[in-house]
Structure formats: C-alpha cells, structure tokens
Structure 1
Amino acid sequence: MNEEDDLSLLDDFESEFESPLDDMPPVEAESQPAPNPELMLALLTSSDRQQRAIAARAFSEIEDERAIPHLIDLLKDACPMTRVSAAYGLGRNPSPTAVEPLIEQLGIDWNGYARKGIVCALGNCNDRRVLPPLINALIRDIPAVRLWAATALARAAHLTYEDMIKVIPPLIVALRRDPIAAVRSNCAWALGQLCRELPSNAIYGTAIDALLEALVEDDDMGVTEDARAALLKVGDPRGLQTIEELEREGMI
C-alpha cells in the first residue's frame, strides 16, 4: 500500500480518526422509519456508486444476512466510500464467509478509511483467523487503523486463553512505544479488558506491569487516565494500592 497516498486523504491529524461516513447524508431522516431492507438490498447492486454506498451504509444499522454476499462484493468496489460502507455493514452483519475477504482486502486496500472499517468489522467476527492481521495492523498501519486494531483485538481475543496470551504482547509493546497517545490509550483499555478474563499468572502480571508503567510514566494525561481506569476495572490489588498511593501523594 502507498502510505503517502493514504495519508494525503487526511486533511489533518484529527480528521484521520473520524470516519467519512460522518459526512454522508443520512439514509433516512431521524423522524422517518428505519431503512427499508428490501429497497437497500436492491440498491446494493445499483449502477450508481452513491446509491451503493448509501445502501451499504444502511446495513451498518440493519441486520440481514441476505446482504452479506453483496457487501463482500462491495469490499472491492472502485469507490473508497462504498468500500468503507461495506466494511461497516459487515461489522453489523458478521459472517464466517466474510472473514477471508475482509482479511484479503485489509492487506491490499490503499485507503486508510477502508482499512479502518475493515479492522472494526474483523473485531466483530468472533473468529480466530482475524488475530494475525489485526496484530499486523496494530504494529504497522497508520494511526487511525492502529487505534481501532487495539480495540478490535480486545473484542476478538476473548475466544480462548491461547488467543488472549497471543495478543497481549503486541498490545504491551504498542502501549509502551506507539508515538500516538490515542493508540496507547486504546491499548490500555484493551489490556484492561483482557486482564479481567485472565488467571493471575505471569502473562497477567506482565500486562499489569505495563498498565502501571503507563500510569506512572506516560506523559499524556489521557493515557494515564485510561491506564488508571483499566486497573480499577481489573481490581488488581497491586494496581489498586499504587493508585491509592499516587492519589495520596497528589500525583494523579
């Protein structure tokens, strides 16, 4: 993928974390009924790219398995907006048949918004196949994709203990080293979610150490707050004691 082309789509740093779906007209006005599934299904194969995009977007609100084959096809649409919409539609309508097409498109799509949508969809797939591409996205992709890869990993890795211990090391590395505070914050949140399901062992202890390190040493207040929140939700005695001591000393 060409990262220079990818990043050129972003007006500024903040816009990278937004979705272009936010700028699309609503499928229906708030006062109107929900999108009509039959109409939206028909529009998924429209020759008009805007109609295809709007229809695909509608299935981020509608659950209808009949849309899945069409949404999979639209992952390769020439229009980036349609690919984004299709990815979010598959996130709402997860299917085992969509996993491999999503993974394939994640590896080849030049558009950062589309990859972000694909990462979000993979996090909803409840399938172990998504873990390697999500880990790769967390390590190597642009900030907006890394941000959501951390969240997606926490959602996807709850399947088994083996899955959880596979994703914890890259999350720890990203929490310690990622240059973007928002990515580190999401890694802190993800580690907190996973630690709540882990037994108290060496892997758990290493994750708690990383959260404590972020709490004490990260220079971004948002990251320290998310690390603190994660530790509180886990309820680890060592974490709670450290938080109490820091609060007593006025350090947090």
Structure 2
Amino acid sequence: MDDEDLSLLDITQPDSPLDHLEDLDAETDVPGPDPEAMLALLELPDPGQRMQAARAFCELVDERAVEPLIRLLADPCPLVRVSAAYALGRNPSPKAVAPLIAQLEQDWNGYVRKGVVWALGNSLAREALSPLVNALQTDITAVRLWAASSLAQVGVACSDLSNAAIRALASALNQDPATVVGGNCAWAIGQICRELPAGPTYTFGVDALIQALEDVRDLGVRDDARTALLKLGDSRGLQVIEELEGEGLL
C-alpha cells in the first residue's frame, strides 16, 4: 500500500494519534464504557463488537485487556487491528512489545502500522528501537512521521539508546522527502537532547539541527529545526540562528 492509497490518513496532526477514532477524552455526561462488558465483547465473533470493545480500551486502562488485545492484533479485520494497536498504546505492557513488532513487520495496512508504531513509542521498550528505525527509513509517510515521534520517546526513556535514535532521526531530518517527517525529526531530536547532559551525543544532535538550518531547502523543516534549537537554548545554536537571521536567511 502506497501513500496514495492512504490519502485519507491525516498526517498533518502529529499531536493527535487517535485521528480516526472519536475524541475519547472529550467531556461528556454519558458514562464511560463498562470494563466488564468491553472485556466480554473483545472475544465475540462479530468484528463490529470487537472493534467497539478495542476502541473502549483506548480510554480504559485495564491490565486484563492486554492479552485479548494482543490476540486482536492478528484479527482479519483491519479496523479491529488498528483499534487494538491504539488500545495497547493506552495500555502498554512488556507482553505486547514482541507481538506489536511482529505485526509492524507483516501488516499490509498502513493505518494499522501507524497505530502499532504509536503503541511501540508508548511502550518505552528498548526492543522497539530497531523496528522504529526501520519504519522511519522504509515505510510510508504517515508511518515515518509517527516513527520519529516514537523514537523520541524511546530515546528519552532509554538513555543508552539516545545516540542510535538521534543518528537515525538526523539522517531522516536531512533526507526524508516529506516536510512533515523532516520537521517531526527535528522536534524529536530536540526532545531527546533536552534530556541529555553535555557530551558527544548532545553535540551530534545540535549539529544535526544546525545543519538542517543551513542546508535543508524546505522552509518548514528549517523552521522546525530553529524551534527545536530555541527550546534547547543551546548557545551555539542560538548564535547560528542570530547569524542566519542577520543575513536574512531565516
């Protein structure tokens, strides 16, 4: 499935991963779903009921749902699979990491892979690094976008993986053809660097952002790199921004 086949998939709102589910966090007078009833629905033969239950666990947090949700990752219905992936992102568990990775590697549906990548980021699992890097390098635009965000989460949670995460993000920052992906890579590098002490990995991240400012032609990506550097408050980055602004290049 290519980008054109996923033309309805909103890739412009990286702050809203549940973009094809209802706003489950909106205030309402209607009582929330009953966990016991939803647990039962997860096992029913009707795919509409399974999807309804999986979507309910995008709101509910209940450890009992993890095992049935893992099974639903292999459901024949892609709407059930994507709902199960997002639900596992809301209910992260070490038990779900390997099944999520396996589904990412084999699922033909881009919506599902996007949900899986989001869930892997929320898992904060070190095992997620390699499949997320691969998704950032090879998948469709919408999945690459979320792979960048998820790499930021893993890179922050597992400090010993921050170098590998930043290097993958830096490569995509300067090479990815999609503005939204490059911009999200700049954001992700900034997020990881904010949690790092001064050192080689931090310096490499700042260098990547500065290089994007100086070399990347896309104005949107350059603006995101500029924003990341401003939020970092790095003196070297601020000096480069000041110089480029003085020259009318920003």
TM score, norm. by length of structure 2? 0.90
Q: Which moved more, 1:39-48 or 1:179-188?
A: 39-48
AA partner of residue 54 (structure 1): Q
**CA distance in 2: counterparts of 1:153 and 1:205, whole angstroms:** 18
Q: Tell me which residue corresponds to 1:201.
A: 199
- Relative to 1, partners in 2 of residues 1:175 and 1:24: Cα closer, same or farther, differing over 3 Å? closer
Per-residue deviation, 1:122 = 0.3
Offset, 1:216: 2.8
- For the residue of structure 1 that corresponds to 2:31, the secondary structure is coil
1:81 is the counterpart of 2:112: no
Query: Partner of 2:123: helix, strand, or coil?
Result: coil
In the TM superposition, 1:101-116 aligns within 5 A as 101-116=99-114
Q: Which range is displaced more, 177-186 or 194-203? A: 194-203
CA drift of 1:135 comes to 0.8
Output the CA distance in 1 between the equivalents of 2:133 and 2:98.
16
Residue in 2 that maps onto 1:123: 121
Q: Rate the CA distance shift 1:168–1:100 in 2: closer, same or farther, 3 A.
A: same
Single out whichever of 43-52 and 240-249 deviates more from structure 2.
240-249
Q: How far did residue 158 of structure 1 move?
A: 1.8
Query: Counterpart in 2 of 1:9?
Result: 5
**1:158 aligned counterpart, secondary structure:** helix
Q: Which of the residues 157, 173, 196 maps onto 1:159?
A: 157
Kindly state the Cα deviation for residue 16 of structure 1 after the two structures are TM-superposed.
5.7
Per the alignment, residue 146 of structure 2 pairs with 148
Distance in 1 between residues matched to 2:19 and 2:164, nearest whole Å: 34
Q: Compute the displacement of 1:105 (Å).
A: 0.7
Q: Percent identity?
A: 54
With 169-178 and 211-220 compared, the bigger mean Cα shift is at 211-220
What value does the CA root-mean-square deviation take over the aligned residues?
2.3
For 2:145 and 2:136, the matched residues in 1 are separated by: 7
Contact 2:126 2:158 in 1 (8 A): no
Take 1:32 and 1:11, find their aligned partners in 2: how far apart are those partners?
A: 33
Q: For structure 1, which segment, 204-213 or 64-73, has the greater mean C-alpha deviation from structure 2 after superposition?
A: 204-213
* Distance change (3 Å), C-alpha of 1:236 and 1:44: same
Q: Output the CA distance in 2 between the equivalents of 1:23 and 1:198.
A: 34
Q: Does the C-alpha gap of structure 1 residues 20 and 113 become closer, same or farther in structure 2, counting only changes over 3 Å?
A: farther
Q: Which moved more, 1:37-46 or 1:196-205?
A: 196-205
TM-score, normalised by the number of residues in structure 1: 0.89
Structure 1, unpaired ranges of 5+: none
Q: CA deviation at 1:42?
A: 1.4
Q: Contact between 2:18 and 2:86, CA under 8 Å: does it hold in 1?
A: no
- 2:175 aligns with 177
1:59 is aligned, of 41, 57, 60, to: 57
**What is the aligned length?**
247
Residues 1:35 and 1:221: Cα distance change in structure 2 (over 3 Å)? farther
1:24: Cα distance to partner?
Answer: 5.4
> Aligned residue for 2:246?
248
Shift of 1:206: 2.1
CA contact (8 A) 2:124 2:158 kept: no
1:218: Cα distance to partner? 2.4
One-letter amino acid matched to 1:11: S
Extract unaligned runs of 5+ from structure 2: none
Q: Distance in 1 between matches of 2:216 and 2:32?
A: 44
Q: Does 1:98 align with 2:88?
A: no
